Structure 1
């Protein structure tokens, strides 16, 4: 269904006009539409329809209007339908405990399309891309067919909305005219500006631009006449003199000031000269990830639906999901000519990077000056959506904290793609495909060591190589860490390093980190809720690396229901793995040994309150009524992917 508000009210379904004719129905529909996908309280509907004089049977009357709208427009969601049911249709009208909600695809609303184009044009203008700005802003204005809701009775809410839209239309028109002036189209603008000046003689912006256009067209006398006429109108109607800016233009025209001449199209410059290209360089060839890379590339090419294609990579700490994201990004970059953006969404302490900071970085990358940066995360998200709507760009999001953090960052356009990795499993309809990235098998682990150390050194100590791969559990982060140690000690055989790591493992509180896993595991651990962090530390210290729910309950001293909740959360955060079992057989859970080793080195959780607020307490099975607060960052963290083997 398509609803048009910018002019007379118009409703179309499958290109057939089905606009209600009754004035009250048109008024109810208009109010629901300007608040599409939000609940409109019954009290607000009553105020809009009858102000201070509602009928005695007001509740029944409102229900009747809702029923008639459902019937006439085919919005056949039954009263009290669940949100899930309502969201399953393209356009539905459903009842909530406090009011009514019209669920409507934003693309089917002309006012939404207008605002998207207006914001995109503003961004292009501020970045100095005047040609594209003029086109975009003209497209936005072309959606208007007359005053907004010109044939609908207006109560207080609709009157306020029409005034807001009209002010936005005027702003867009002025900026489009400025863009055309910057492009040297002064002669083409004279007729339009003359008409606007006559229609709105007290609006000084139009005479300003008209004087400038006339001056640049060699018509100085006509420009001076415009000033005199405007001054007379302002004096007669308002008792005011022209603004200081208009007076300065008048003096400049009198003096034939060259500053009024057409400026170079380079007077405004963007922060960048082309599309953003933020993909980090690859760190050598990936080994043993051919299957996962193929799945990622196939999923990104097989576009689904009308939104961006989103592919998530999930694996235990140190499995190399970040490196795989970067590699896939380089493989796909030619498909996204409008740029590639990268951001890291978790800080080094496992905390969540504020969404507003991430969006600000995106807007800077696309050329927005700091002086034009919107203040709130919602405003920044709206501008980013507008910018991405008609573009083909790739987002690589590293270390995504949770679904709530992800959704405001997703681009709007169907030509866009998103590659992300996360320390936890995430389930949302926005993610088209999830690719598991497990530890490497033994053969690929040996191949990785051979690529990095050389065939000769590996062949000299094949037994030590096999033992080292097993010790690293096939995790690329650990394998790269041990390779670094061997390269620093060229006189050591591989077996010597294996023995040394075994000695270090016996000293659980050792400050050394022979497998290089502590930082990654610790960040994952800190991102979990407090009860899950405590369970990880205690289960890692147990005698066995594999256990059932009953065994975990004994270690944690909780009932089996709580124990199962905790170990399943550990699986969600990739700190444990669930073993596949046959139907009717109790599930078993196990640690990756490298991960368990770090867990056994952890002391009691002494996180400060500020750190605990970073955890997603909202799903903590032992804290049923959490507040789920988030800690603001003290300083902006780097927003690029830096740890390729997270």
Structure 2
């Protein structure tokens, strides 16, 4: 038996696709498949099955009973939906769950060899047959969980294209990019990577034709011009009649290093000291800084926008890091918040405080870490429906609402604002600032930066 929600909802037994259940039953099954191995409370099942308004408890119980009957008829008596007093859990004994497989493959460490990395990424992406729960209700498309995993697919596909090109087989990624481009006709990131992959595969004429299709679609249907990224690729296609090279960052290049960072982080003393030391000791390496928002912290490396990033840990598993320093976190509230008069807080004081939500495109482990989700007592954090992507949006959401957020204590000095209050938290774990870069061969510029960072940290430790 196998189940998949990466595309239309599909359950197979002995290789045969089972007939579709009635819509409400299918929607509840889809809700449970969206949370493999988890127990969902009734409110969450109702929200996914009937939309934001949910449904009555009677309607939910009746639908779950019908789902149990459908599973028993088509999958056998072992397949059922269990209720443990707190929520529902789907149990498909010995079934192969493609969504669960994809989640595991996404979080797995990447092979250092580009060809092996490309093969691993292709395996993960091949589990997709289309958008998540493509035959589900219309409201499923706006669910934060669905949006987050849809975005992970895009990020993985872009990473796959880069790995395939580094392995010398750019055409290996074309099928995945073609499928995504068809599903996302307005996503310029996907179309930009498709164009550069076509160029790297020696298919310049087709790349030019595809660019013209995208340009006309954006103009006719959205009334906008292509992004600067697409325009730059087109300029390269026109100016280079030979098989053009895609404008990827080359991490093996010795003479230049692009460092991605939040604006606040580049101003941290340890980061400034590192850049100053690099300029002093290694003037042959040209340093360039690219400012990133929350989402770009996740995508900048796999998409080739930076050679190395300055990041607060955690980062996705398998990404090499070099710690620079440690610090603390603080809570931020509006000046008229009931906590604003407090000098310090504990995690217990933050119970039942709603947290401003970051974009679903932000790595989930990173988001959970900053919100301390779940809390030490096991309780989950409740988030707003915001989808902020940068610090300015985050502070504005806090300043204009009753909700809280957690940021590095360094923001107190780097982002002083008259409408918010920073409050120390006494029992949160320390945070670590680190360099992070893509796994694989380290070019001389990255190796030099890491060595200088390591030497500076040892010197500071020795002085302390």
TM-score range, shorter chain: 0.3 to 0.5
Q: Which has the higher strand share?
A: 2
Question: TM-score, structure 2 length as denominator?
Answer: 0.46
Question: TM-score, structure 1 length as denominator?
Answer: 0.35
Structure showing greater Rg: 1
Q: Which has the higher helix share?
A: 1
